[in-house]
Structure 1
Amino acid sequence: MLVKGPCKVKTIHLLTSYDDGSGRSQQMSGLEEIQQSLRSHGVTLNIEFSSSIHDREIRFNNGWMIKIGRGLDYFKKPQGRFSIGYCDLDLRPCHETTVDVFHTKHTKKM
């Protein structure tokens, strides 16, 4: 979405928590892959970890902020490699979650 449209976002700040147990290395390699892919399109992804948050938070340098209740894994796994939605996430079913979208001019710093 960021690299397809006429978006002016150059920096993304992601605040998340570490996966528990053995999923941590998979989490780190996935985030590093996203970071490198965004970098090739001129977008910097800064990642910060917190052990005290539940919701994940993404902040863009244009003032928009997104909070996702279940983190970035809200898509359900496809049934197979040839299933609708395997490559196009717009067609993939989602897990139930809450997504809040704010602009910083309408929020207070705490």
Structure 2
Amino acid sequence: MSAALQAKALLIRAVECDQSGRILEAQTLYQDGIAQLMTFVSTEPDEVKRKGFLTRIKEYMDRADAIKARVNGQLMLGEIVTHLSIEENDTGYDYDQIFGKYMTNQTIEIMLEEPYLSQNYQYQNLIRFLELAVTNCTQLKYVRLVTKKDAANPEQQSTNLGQIKADLERRQISFYIKYEDTLHDRKIFLSNGYIIKIGRGLHFYKASNPMYSIGLTNYRYRKCLQTDVDIWRTSRIPN
């Protein structure tokens, strides 16, 4: 498929997602489609055609910027509905107990900002979170993961996340990975209007000790590191 056709396909999907309220996915598709269209336009010899393409690109860029502004605005607003302080060595806190009730079938998109994904246990925590999302969010269509690139082993990180991406896509859930090396904050944004902020992100569990003991697979029996959890509610993002 030519660059122009690839760009067209991406932008058609972006508009479809935009119109159906899947704005996180639409934002990604707009960005990818614009990038491909810009590459094509740079090689277009016809000045009139090039100007026409640039006009359309400007329209798509304006729409993508509007979505970004709206998402950022939602992340900054809202009210706390739940505050939880988890003390050192506390037990009884798995993801489902803490925020599972906010992950509903009205959640069609999720954005997860988790800076640290390099160790096996961190990937396991990510999988546990995604298992909860797949179970509770029966209409889930799109997950955006924002994380840091593993400077020590980027190839392994790419392989691990690629496996997760392929598995989700077999379940008709798009998975988009964005690397931000300056990322520090941890948050989970649900498209039904809830934002989950955990001081330590997904990684607040201690290792099972000894390994083969209660808590190895059921994390409600795991000892925790000290952290705070705030759950915010915003108005649901409009279409």
What's the TM-score, normalizing by structure 2?
0.35
27-36 vs 1-10, greater mean Cα deviation:
27-36
Alignment correspondent of 1:3: 134
| % identical equivalent positions | 32
- Partner amino acid, structure 2, of 1:5: N
Equivalent residue letter for 1:79: N
Q: Does 1:94 align with 2:224?
A: yes
> What letter matches 2:192 in structure 1?
N
Q: In the alignment, is the contact (CA less than 8 A) between 1:14 and 1:56 conserved in 2?
A: no
CA RMSD in angstroms comes to 3.1
- The answer as to 2:204 corresponding to 1:74 is yes
The count of corresponding residues between Structure 1 and Structure 2 is 106
User: In structure 2, what residue type is equivalent to 1:87?
Assistant: T
- SS of 1:2 mapped into structure 2: helix
- Distance in 2 separating the partners of 1:35 and 1:69: 26
Displacement, 1:84?
0.9
Flag the structure with larger Rg. Answer: 2
Distance 1:75 1:48, change over 3 A: same
Return the letter of the residue paired with 1:76: K
In structure 2, relative to structure 1, the CA distance for the partners of 1:2 and 1:63 (3 Å cut) is same
Report which stretch shifted further, 88-97 or 61-70.
61-70
Q: 1:104 & 1:34 partners in 2: Cα distance? A: 29
Alpha-carbon separation, structure 1, partners of 2:226 and 2:216: 19
More strand by share: 1
Distance (Å, rounded) in 2 between the aligned partners of 1:68 and 1:25: 28
Letter in 2 for 1:12: V
By how many angstroms is 1:96 displaced? 1.4
CA distance in 2, matches of 1:25, 1:88: 30
For 2:232, give the aligned amino acid.
F
Structure 2 CA distance, aligned partners of 1:24 and 1:73? 20
Residue identity in the other structure for 2:208: P
Partner Cα separation in structure 2 for residue 78 and residue 33 of structure 1: 25
Residue of structure 2 equivalent to 1:85: 215
Closer/same/farther in 2, CA of residues 38 and 97 from structure 1, 3 Å limit = farther
Give the match for residue 99 of structure 2.
none
Shift of 1:83: 1.1
- 2:192 corresponding residue in structure 1: 62
Q: Give unpaired runs (5+ residues) of structure 2.
A: 1-131
Of 23-32 and 3-12, deviating more is 23-32
